[in-house]
Amino acid sequence: MRTKTLAHRFFSAALLVALAGAPAHAADTEPTPHQSEAIAMAFDLSAAFEHAAETIEPSVVHIITSARNRRGFQQQTGVGSGVIVDDRGYILTNNHVVESGQTLTVRLADNREVPAELVGTFPESDLAVLKIDAEDITAARFADSEAVKVGQWVLAVGSPFGFQQTVTAGIVSAKGRGSFDPQSASGEPRVGAFQEYIQTDAAINPGNSGGPLVDLHGRVVGINTAIASSSGGNNGLGFTIPADIAQAVMHSIIETGQVNRGWLGVEMQRLDPVEAHALDIEGGVIIAEARDDGPAQRAGLEKGDIIVSLGGRTTENIVRLANAIMLAKPGTPVEIEYIRGTEHRSTRAVVADRDEQRLIALNAIRIDDLGLSIRADDIVLTTARRRQSTVPGFVVVDVKRGSAADDAGFRVGDFIYEVDDRTFEDPEALADYLTANPAQSRTRVQLFRGNARGYIDLTE
């Protein structure tokens, strides 16, 4: 089996170039000054790779997920990689690495295996945070992913195919890549929520997901998430979540258990490159519509304005602006630079909470104690005699992962029609009942799921 890494292959290629033209019959022939310089440069690059790999190695972990099968036996469901990002034991990885596991185990660089707790996830950016209780661990350092340059050397580190600590090398091929379908051979863009990638040609093998992409100082540039390949192997395009996005998501999850996303209240439109050139800017996003009394409108922004930066983050395209808004903490002011006509202007807007705005738009409320969001609705039932009747109730519009509602088995789309054989006129009345009865040993929620009628018991 070939286990030679890309770093070694690059080194070998450099030697071949340096020694080209040397007489085959004279193995001890001294290289020319030019060849000596090329060999020295190759050794310098190799040494830089070694330094980066040695620096990040103690922080990279192997993640094993498992769940009980129908017979009650624990069965491995997946593997992946992660990186220790805090001395308190917090680990950053991909959501898709851990989403299928009921039990999480982390294997450290020194081969210790410790159980891990899922702190929180943010599927929209394919990120998750775990926590372990272990001593003598080393947290990785982060690089400024905004300062990363196309063409810069990077290393992808992880545990592909279950092997411990494999390193591959490559360069940053592109920045600011938009959403794509990881299952697509072509990697064509798709509509996604908060996806923005650094593209690299460093091999990201199966099992490398969740591991770090690092610079030559061994600092984390991003979290490896996927490879778009026509063959299913590593000969494709590697995609990495930038470190600045990963850190913002991580801090929010550690502090609150969830990601509180910003909302500006604008509809966005792509800026034509010709117009951008005429304005002498690299790019921007046109405000197609500013919501009435939304944060943007209150800050003085209007339809037709071109946003070029938000919160110190340049917004060359819609993906960049969407992420800049998402990274802004709700309730805090952010600096916005924009163009109106040909005039460069700036303003400050206080972003709102995106999830709260979504609930308002749905006319829904959140029951924080349960991690459940509901809105009033009706369901039409057809009896055995084909008579129809309308039943009032409440539709579940959101279930927070890891919450009491999630643990109990609620799903988005469930229709609640009774609780403890009682009906309720509005969502607020139901929320008050559920939160005012914490001492009850059991609360029975009766619901429809599709065409099936059932119930869920909420217990302490």
The residue annotated as part of the active site, out of 59, 125, 209, 373, is 209
Report the interhelical angle of 318-327 vs 243-256 (nearest 10°): 30
Q: Which residues contact 145 (CB under 8 A, 6 or more apart)?
A: 198, 221, 222, 242, 243, 244, 245
Q: Which residues contact 246 (CB under 8 A, 6 or more apart)?
A: 92, 125, 127, 220, 222, 223
Burial of 95 (0-12, 13-18, 19+ CB in 10 A): buried
Residue pair 98/65 in contact by the 8 Å Cβ criterion: yes
Active site (annotated) includes residue 186: no
For residue 301, give the nearest of 311, 317, 290, 314 by alpha carbon. Answer: 290
Length of the chain: 460
Here the tokens at position 444 are 């029975």
> With the C-alpha atoms ordered 369, 371, 377, 383, is the resulting torsion angle positive or negative?
negative
Residue 217: active-site member: no
| CA-only gyration radius of the chain, Å | 27
The answer to whether 444 touches 420, Cβ cutoff 8 Å, is yes
Tell me the CA distances in angstroms from 307 to 22, 261, 312, 342, one per residue in order. Answer: 58, 19, 12, 12
Catalytic residue among 62, 81, 96, 414: 96
Is 355 a known active-site residue?
no
Catalytic pick among 46, 126, 215, 252 = 126
CA dist., res. 371 & res. 404, Å (int) = 6
Active site residues: 96, 126, 209
